[in-house]
Structure 1
């Protein structure tokens, strides 16, 4: 058992290193091309929208990823039940976050200093749902040290700007090219991870299990802040 864990860690480290190297090669090339196609204002707008979405994602994840990765489960069934609770909780909270952002989109845009971006922020909030759909799947892969699959996910999301964002930047010549590229990347993540995963979401929820998971997740979330 110990030798098997060592092998898994060794392979995971290798795939993780390869992933980082490939991403660092591809991303600068894409950014250089996009910088020549779009005005600096486009990047500033997307940075503002991303700041709002990233802030909301902190609460939608609720630390359940760490729980799935770190917790010692009694058996596979216990793991699957916890995964289902985490998945449906994240998805529900993400829908709620989208509704809140939609209702207060213009006020949020004013607060972040971009009064005209209310509708764009509201549409971009759909990224929160896509992130929630794939984040728990990703936790399962990390728990199993399956960084080979995560490598292909990372490479896919790195290549999408070449296939989607750059062509759209040539056509649209505005920040929507970057936002649509982000949508395409998150959609790819959600579809790829779900299709490849042995675990699939099931209609199951347990409030007692949620309370147990939340007590752990809330503490780790506070410690990480």
Structure 2
């Protein structure tokens, strides 16, 4: 038998190299990087939208937007059953009977919510001392029934870590909603532009949930076993969500009635900007960390602590540095984005941006505990927040008025972080040195942001 040529042996022994283009593509498509890219693009689009809309609409519109958003959020949180976490974690999460039952429950919830909002709209508008908002509340309630009929493919896709596809869907919906809001704001010059574009965006997302996924259609079903399991799971989720509602909306309900719509609009704009980093924490925690941790727990991974921190180390360092930078550069951000009419938003942004600095530690700890079966963790953390707010909120308002109350809100993530660290320590999931390193990165970001503000703002 004739031996193969030497060149053939060399070629067979040398591993094939991945082309540089493929390496870049693989890097960009990693779930963490997909979340980072989509959140950055989303925040840039929202910032651009805010800049344009503030030039088309008066500040009062953003005050109205804050009131409506608070009411819609309140209804959603009071009835939160934790569908996403339940589907992602459940062993039967891909079975048709299970999905039919959860979809039916979601539809029933949405119909009840819409009806309740319609009936209570005049009363809610009256509580704010703004009865003219009743019709806006009624129309905004349609978002519940629109989103309630969406396919559960949006949840099963998360279960199977199809982060890219989900991110592309959300980006398409956001672009459509922003473009519509521009056109309608130019034509109508009223809050209806924002509300109608929101409803159309929700309808578009619901349509995509059926069009872009196989086996997306569901049929009515109520399996007693699954309903019982959902309720056992949702007891803590619903209780936690109600507390979250009290925590996140109490300041808005109070300030919405105490401030003029113009001043409340400044507060809402600052809150929206401060929430920009939270878009990453929520997406990263729910779409990357929770599915990964849940899978590792189901598979019996031995060194869970090492896996937890390996997954979030670099994103946490970069995120905390950026969140700190927002605190330090808040006046510069307001000066760049808005005209001088909105300068009063800067102090609110600087205070409210403190919470996002601690949010990733809080959210990551929550997903660690929930994925490993400690469902009460979210409820307990929110109780800690509630105790903090009940003590610090009135004290802050008594000592510093509106800014004192806002400061209490800005510091609200610290108590649950301490509680979750204590729980993770008892379960041997905590690496305190790395957690403190993440916060040190945030401190460095504050310094860099403050220096940038002092050097650049005089030229803006």
Partners of 1:65 and 1:135 within 8 A in 2 = no
Counting only pairs closer than 5 Å after superposition, residues 92-171 of structure 1 correspond to structure 2 as 92-134=108-150, 136-171=152-187
Of 210, 213, 217, 2:234 maps to 217
1:135 Cα shift?
7.6
- Provide the aligned C-alpha RMSD in A: 2.0
Cα offsets for 1:51-98 (capped at 9, x unmatched) = 11111112444112110012223x742xx3222222111211211111
Counting only pairs closer than 5 Å after superposition, residues 68-87 of structure 1 correspond to structure 2 as 68-73=87-92, 76-77=94-95, 80-87=96-103
Structure 1 counterpart of 2:65: 46
Partner Cα distance (1:162, 1:99) in 2? 28
Partner Cα distance (1:136, 1:61) in 2? 16
Partner Cα distance (2:226, 2:217) in 1? 19
Structure 2 counterpart of 1:186: 202
Partners of 1:66 and 1:217 within 8 A in 2 = no
Q: So what's the TM-score if we normalise by structure 2?
A: 0.44
Structure 1 counterpart of 2:220: 203
Partners of 1:156 and 1:188 within 8 A in 2 = no
Count residues with an aligned counterpart.
214
Structure 2 counterpart of 1:177: 193
1:41 Cα shift?
0.9
1:134 Cα shift?
3.3
Q: So what's the TM-score if we normalise by structure 1?
A: 0.87
Of 81, 84, 93, 1:65 maps to 84
1:49 Cα shift?
0.8
1:19 Cα shift?
0.8
User: After TM superposition, where is structure 1 displaced by more than 6 Å over at least 4 residues in a row?
Assistant: none
Partner Cα distance (1:90, 1:20) in 2? 27
Query: Which one has the largest radius of gyration?
Result: 2
Partner Cα distance (2:129, 2:209) in 1? 36
Structure 1 counterpart of 2:39: 20
Question: Relative contact order: is structure 1 or structure 2 higher (C-alpha 8 Å, sep ≥ 6)?
Answer: 1
How has the CA–CA distance of structure 1 residues 169 and 100 changed in structure 2, closer, same or farther, with 3 Å as cutoff?
same
Partners of 1:63 and 1:218 within 8 A in 2 = no
Which runs of no fewer than 5 residues in structure 1 stay unpaired? 1-6
Structure 2 counterpart of 1:4: none
How has the CA–CA distance of structure 1 residues 113 and 136 changed in structure 2, closer, same or farther, with 3 Å as cutoff?
farther
How has the CA–CA distance of structure 1 residues 42 and 151 changed in structure 2, closer, same or farther, with 3 Å as cutoff?
same
Cα offsets for 1:136-167 (capped at 9, x unmatched) = 44222211111111121221122124421100
1:124 Cα shift?
0.7
Which runs of no fewer than 5 residues in structure 2 stay unpaired? 1-25, 241-377, 383-460
